């Protein structure tokens, strides 16, 4: 899988082509997984729906860069608010709309 340099980390990812008129699919692995563990499931879903898709591994997983420090209890929240919007902007051409402001 290719790597995306986000400045403070490098993440493995892959995109699946589809109709830009459909909402894009993003496949997020669980806490101990990686993009590779999805196998061909994202391809099947994208093909069936016609949607574009993004699959990636968080830092510290798969072939992404190792962690720079310890993870706190909110690491998945931080990932969703910091890293994921960067990836969506880079690969899908836009940042997601935020439903609510970031919690302190």
**Distances, alpha carbon 44 to alpha carbons 7, 18, 29, 40, 52, in Å:** 32, 12, 16, 6, 11
Task: Look at the pTM and tell me if it is higher than 0.85.
Answer: no
Residue spans of the domains in the chain: they are 3-92
In this structure, the dihedral spanned by the alpha carbons of residues 74, 98, 82 and 19, taken in order and rounded to 10 degrees, is: 120
Residues 6+ away with beta carbon under 8 Å from 23:
51
Average pLDDT over all residues of the chain:
87
Q: Which residue has the higher pLDDT, 92 or 19?
A: 19
Q: Based on C-alpha coordinates, what's the Rg of the chain?
A: 14
Burial 23-38 (b: 16+ CB within 10 A, else e): ebbbbbbeeeebbeeb
Average pLDDT over residues 88-94: 80
User: Quick one: which H or E segment has residue 14?
Assistant: strand 10-16
CA dihedral (61, 67, 70, 75) positive or negative: negative
Average pLDDT over residues 7-24: 92
């Amino acid at each position: 899988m290719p790597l995306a340099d986000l400045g403070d980390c490098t993440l493995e990812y892959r995109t699946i082509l589809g109709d830009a008129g459909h909402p894009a699919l993003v496949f997020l692995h669980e806490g101990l997984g990686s993009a590779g563990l999805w196998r061909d499931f994202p391809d099947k879903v994208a093909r069936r729906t016609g949607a574009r898709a993004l699959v990636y591994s968080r830092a510290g997983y798969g072939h992404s860069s190792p962690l720079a420090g310890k993870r706190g209890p909110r690491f998945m929240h931080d990932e969703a608010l910091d890293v994921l919007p960067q990836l969506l902007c880079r690969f899908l051409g836009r940042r997601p709309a935020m439903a609510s402001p970031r919690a302190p």
